Structure 1
């Protein structure tokens, strides 16, 4: 804003010195004294009231012009929202950090989805394991939007689970189980959507029971808590996962 204003007078070649993270009176006084020596102007965005008042007082002592950039906007929004601002410094940075953590978590979930790379297991905040069509991927993405790094691993009888799965802390791993009949229905619909016959081995009840039994064995070896996702929306399961993580993996 200062540079844009200066451009109206001298092409925007004003010397601008940024002094970030001002949270003490010593820095304020030093800044004012420096501005006084150089004949400068101070434009600020501090939101802490006592520091603002100190700046105005010291600037008045040294006859240094001061411009409150954020004040008018804060006052306008306070009237609009009918409440006082928090006046906490650094909230924008916190919001930015929150955004980038979410993006990082989403990228992590994509990279380590469906057991693509077992190295992600040891780096994950939580690892989801279960047979195909137990909502591992949508659950991973939902939790990623909660800023959790999630890896998920499909359990298939013909494929030995990665060694990393047995190295991760059991409370950071969550098994997903499901009612066999419901899984059968889900898989049949999946086959139809792909233009395949519902009689394929993927939706065969004997095969499903075999997979679920194998998955249960692996979950017992891992020692992880298990969630039954039958008839549950992804949001409901995600809230249960978050609650379990807060409790340290206790599914009771």
Structure 2
């Protein structure tokens, strides 16, 4: 049985073409043993194309490629036809059909799939971080976070953490209670990445009563009393003053609005 060589040519890493080639080779009993593959990544110059086709001719190889730039595709096809080399275009037929259906020209930018994958994994990592360091579970997360949210109970710290995590920010949130000393890590971080969430006592009184009722409890518990809430907010302001961070009033704000305030603040600081 003869040996077969496949040249994998890509203007990015070449993982897509490599996986397709391996999938095809696996359909033959001795495919992976008799078929060798050589990957040529980040091919973005026509002179590289000419060299690769020359090597393919010397080794009697088949070229399998994923090139997003039309001029590069045409150059490779012309070189292969001239040298009598078999080449297989994995990407262009699909891209061209999608272009026709959408009436839109492709971007022709190499590596976009990899960028999307990296973006996805960063988002997942941020979401897992927000869950792990939610509600002050582990103060070590405060030092690792991109954003730290501080506030009394029921100021939307958890949903805000998750919303920001979907924007790829690692967020830790810390509840403040007068009877419990705040973690020392709060005073060790850069105040610029910390945001205190405050709410009017009346609004918080209403929210907490509704919460107790939803849990099947009486709404006159200490947790929902106005004097207790005012005590917590005084404690909150004392801690925030010591940290020196930005305070956001969330009384009449949706989670998305509060998140936009935080993101705008971060963007303005980087200008």
Please give the secondary structure, in 2, of the residue aligned with 1:152. strand
Q: 2:248 maps to what in 1?
A: 227
1:184-199 equivalences in 2 (<5 Å) = 184-199=205-220
Please give the secondary structure, in 2, of the residue aligned with 1:97. helix
Q: 2:3 maps to what in 1?
A: none
Q: Distance in 1 between matches of 2:25 and 2:136?
A: 56
Note the residue ranges of structure 2 that are not aligned, 5 or more in a row: 1-19
Q: 1:93 maps to what in 2?
A: 114
Q: Deviations 1:207-243 (Å, cap 9, x if unpaired)?
A: 1000001101111111111110012111111111111
In the alignment, does 2:230 pair up with 1:209?
Answer: yes
In the alignment, does 2:156 pair up with 1:139?
Answer: no
Q: Deviations 1:118-158 (Å, cap 9, x if unpaired)?
A: 11111111000000000000000011011110000001111
Tell me the CA shift for residue 37 of structure 1.
Answer: 1.6
Q: 1:180 maps to what in 2?
A: 201
1:55-204 equivalences in 2 (<5 Å) = 55-204=76-225
2:259 to 231, 238, 245: 238
Q: Distance in 2 between matches of 1:5 and 1:119?
A: 48
Greater displacement, 29-38 / 13-22: 13-22
Q: Distance in 2 between matches of 1:120 and 1:146?
A: 18
> Structure 1 pair 102/8, CA: closer, same or farther in 2 (3 Å)?
closer
Q: Deviations 1:33-92 (Å, cap 9, x if unpaired)?
A: 221122111111111233223323433443222221111111101111101000000110
Please give the secondary structure, in 2, of the residue aligned with 1:17. strand
Q: 2:62 maps to what in 1?
A: 41
Q: Higher strand share goes to which structure?
A: 2
Please give the secondary structure, in 2, of the residue aligned with 1:103. helix
> Structure 1 pair 92/200, CA: closer, same or farther in 2 (3 Å)?
same
TM-score, length-scaled by structure 1: 0.92
Q: Distance in 2 between matches of 1:231 and 1:122?
A: 30
Corresponding residue pairs, total: 249
Greater displacement, 77-86 / 62-71: 62-71
Q: 2:43 maps to what in 1?
A: 22
